[in-house]
Amino acid sequence: MTETPVHPALWPAPVASGAVDATVTVPGSKSVTNRALVLASLAAEPGWLRRPLRSRDTLLMAEALRALGVGIEEGVGPDGSGEAWRVIPAGLHGPATIDVGNAGTVMRFLPPVAALADGPVRFDGDPRSYERPLNGVIDALRTLGARIDDDGRGALPLTVHGGGALDGGRVRIDASSSSQFVSALLLSAPRFNQGVEVRHTGASLPSMPHIRMTVDMLRSVGAQVDEPETGGEPNVWRVSPSALLGRDLTVEPDLSNAQPFLAAALITGGKVTIPDWPERTTQPGDQLRRIFTEMGGSCELTERGLVFTGSGSIHGIDVDLSEVGELTPGIAAVAALADSPSTLRGVAHLRLHETDRLAALTKEINELGGDVTETADGLHIRPRRLHGGIFHTYDDHRMATAGSIIGLAVEGVQIENVATTAKTLPDFPRMWTEMLTGAGN
Ligand SMILES: O=C(O)C1=C[C@@H](OP(=O)(O)O)[C@@H](O)[C@H](O)C1
Ligand SMILES: C=C(OP(=O)(O)O)C(=O)O
């Protein structure tokens, strides 16, 4: 008898045998953790970061800041509860070398920090990091007084020749390819001699909640920020120079990483509870309450957390995802299993994410028998009966979770390199299996 060969890099996505009923504790937000690390490193006094996410993107951020001289130590928070990082700011030093991996937050948020260091800081990363846009940050930093050596493509690898301080001032950028350009300049701006005025000149600006998160977190450490949403000029952000406070911050669960678990409730007609879902948050994942409700579920924010319940039906959706682009792969996966077609719009910039997400989703869902077409700014998804096969992930954590969502309802889906979920959710395979077996409840 011959056994079916098991490829070590292929993970058989488990099929749900019935309605899931689980409580899933989701680790901390990548976006909050990496902003908090930067702000705490630039502060005038030590601070605490509780329940930080420990994943590839956040460990790269911590390692990079340590390379610049910041102390980031393991500890328990001031009240003795929970795991925490103590961040001890220090003079920022070069020479240093920073590995950004494929973390947008590291490759964009740290060049402005490096401009404040007193020597050269070399940035390098995964091959894909060379293809992701960085021109908005490079050009802006040059305008603000920094010296940067790159190969002229507006991308990695590059060296920022930190001069110990940066003038700052006014800058115009086109951030239509990534909101992280704006966030990057704002986060370090309190430490620029003149602060910053960033004027976005492009036709569109994706991921506004992530810019709100930047503004909120800056304000929470004492920075003064003027911005469009509180009466400022449209598309203009101003940050004044000031010292930043060291705070004691508890990181919220990553609501975008809650997505596959909520999707499991939707697809199986089950129920999933996510503890500690914040009542108020700038995280884009909070919009899943609305989007997945429109797709057939219902939810309630209770003392136990967000309780999300599937109805047994999954509906297609016509939705603009420009504010919440990182939710697209998971929504596309659910849409492929729905009872009507879907149109996902406003996400052309996803072609420059971890991989070209529009091409990858189209190819992988179609190879399982689906009918997805790319549009100029998104996807059109017509549900079909799907079959098993290999779901390639292109080193993209959200492709791996999207394939797993489909695998709940389709026999024989194998996820290639599920370990790529380590970018933001290293424990995904265990959490997924526990959700299905009811362990961890
Ligand atoms: O600032 C952030 O933390 C992020 C901003 C968004 O980037 P883009 O605006 O490049 O899409 C988002 O997709 C990414 O996952 C995280
Ligand atoms: C786009 C994403 O990540 P990054 O921070 O690398 O841009 C994402 O997590 O979906």
pLDDT, tens digit, for every residue of 265-274?
Answer: 999 999 999 9
Q: Which two tokens stand for residue 242?
A: 């000031």
Q: Cα(178) to centroid of ligand 1, in Å?
A: 7
pLDDT digits (tens, 9 = 90+) for 364-400: 999 999 999 999 999 999 999 999 999 999 999 999 9
Say if residues 354 and 401 touch (Cβ distance below 8 Å). no
Give the separation between CA 116 and CA 160, rounded to whole angstroms.
10
DSSP codes joined into one string, 184-235: HHHHHGGGSTT-EEEEE-SS----HHHHHHHHHHHHHTT--EE-GGGT--TT
Residues 224/189, Cβ–Cβ less than 8 Å: no
Active-site residue, selected from the candidate residues 227, 252, 323, 326: 326
Name the more confident of 83 and 369.
369
Q: Is 129 annotated as a binding residue?
A: no
Task: State yes or no: pLDDT of 404 exceeds 60.
Answer: yes
DSSP conformation class of 26:
P
> For 3-7, what is the mean pLDDT?
53
Say yes or no to pLDDT of 24 above 90.
Answer: yes
Task: Kindly report the pTM of this predicted structure.
Answer: 0.97
Q: How remote is the CA of residue 208 from the centroid of ligand 1, in Å? A: 9
Region 282-306 average pLDDT = 97
In the structure, what pLDDT confidence band is assigned to residue 440 with cuts at 50, 70 and 90? Answer: low
**pLDDT the model gives residue 439:** 64
| 347-368: average pLDDT | 98
pLDDT for 93 equals 97
3-class secondary structure per residue, 344-370: EECCHHHHHCCCCHHHHHHHHHHHCCC
325 lines ligand 1 (CB under 6 A): yes
Is residue 367 annotated as part of the catalytic site, yes or no? no
From residue 401, give the alpha-carbon distance in Å to each of 70, 219, 328, 383: 34, 33, 11, 19
Q: Mean pLDDT over residues 36-49, rounded?
A: 98
Residue 22 CA to ligand 2 center (angstroms) comes to 27
CA distance linking residue 32 with residue 187, whole number of Å: 12
The answer for residues whose C-beta is within 8 angstroms of residue 269's C-beta and 6 or more apart is 19, 310, 311, 312
Residue 4 has pLDDT above 90, yes or no: no
Check whether 349 is labelled as a binding-site residue.
Answer: no
Average pLDDT value for residue range 422-426: 97
Non-local CB neighbours of 278 within 8 Å, separated by 6+ positions: 252, 253, 286
Whose tokens are 């925490």? That residue is 84
- Cα(48) to ligand 2 centroid in Å equals 24
Sheet holding 158-161, edge to edge: 96-99, 120-124, 158-161, 147-150
The protein residue whose alpha carbon is closest to atom 3 in ligand 1 is 31
d(CA 69, CA 50): 21
Residue 2 is predicted with a pLDDT of 45
- Give the mean pLDDT of the chain: 96
Instruction: Determine the average pLDDT of the residues in 232-238.
Output: 94
Q: Answer yes or no: is pLDDT of 61 > 70.
A: yes
Confidence band for 199, pLDDT divided at 50, 70 and 90: very high
Specify burial of residue 91 (Cβ count, 10 A radius: 0-12, 13-18, 19+): exposed
pLDDT score of 76? 79
pLDDT at residue 432, as a whole number: 98
pLDDT for 43 beyond 90? yes
67/59 Cα distance (integer angstroms): 12
Is 271 marked as a binding-site residue? no
The annotation status of 357 as a binding-site residue, yes or no, is yes
Q: Is the CB of residue 179 below 6 angstroms from any atom belonging to ligand 1?
A: yes
Q: Which ligand is nearest to the CA of 423?
A: 2
Cα–Cα distance between 94 and 115 in angstroms, integer?
A: 10
High-pLDDT (> 70) share of the chain, %: 97
Residue range 315-341: mean pLDDT, rounded: 98
Q: Whose CA is nearest to atom 8 of ligand 2?
A: 326
